[in-house]
Amino acid sequence: MRAILSVVLAGFLPLAAVAADGSAPELIQPGYDVELDEFQWTHRPVVVFADSPEDPRFHEQMERLMEGIEALKERDVVVLTDTDPAAKSALRKKLRPRGFMLVLVGKDGGVKLRKPHPWTVRELSRTIDKFPERLREVEERRGG
């Protein structure tokens, strides 16, 4: 299973690369050295925590996210992962997960959703699409 996830992630990492001018963050990146403030007003972080990279729920969540990568891009989502509780990252200190946890953070920096089990991109998209700032984004893109 780990080998399969590695191959899947390797296939999508070129999609997640930073632009040459550094203007866009990687779509999927480790969250050990990241502060949520870096994404305020530009992206919606989805933070995936697990106590081990071997956690089956972590693998399932990452596979689900990979399946809907275009929908995530469209909603300005950046996925941050943290599978090492011993690292005591800033994300862990701020969000305080217990075992596996999926956390959706809004562009305003507020926690919008916490789930102790994997979610599909469709479920995440439906939640994001109800946010007032997302409704404004869609309206602006329509030219309204």
- Does residue 120 sit in helix, strand or coil? coil
pLDDT of residue 56: 98
Chain mean position to CA 82: 11
- Does residue 11 sit in helix, strand or coil? helix
Compute the average pLDDT of residues 104-124. 96
pTM, to two decimals: 0.80
Task: Report the greatest alpha carbon distance in the chain.
Answer: 48
DSSP letter, residue 50? -
Lowest mean pLDDT among 7-16, 28-37, 41-50, 99-108: 7-16
Single-letter amino acid, residue 66: M
Q: Whose structure tokens read 């994001």? A: 128
Single-letter amino acid, residue 71: A
Lowest mean pLDDT among 50-59, 83-92, 112-121, 135-144: 135-144
Distance (Å, whole) CA 60 – CA 4? 11
Residue 73: is its pLDDT beyond 80? yes
Single-letter amino acid, residue 18: V
Distance (Å, whole) CA 61 – CA 78? 14
C-beta separation of 100 from 49 below 8 A: yes
Q: How confident is the model at residue 136 (pLDDT cuts 50, 70, 90)?
A: confident
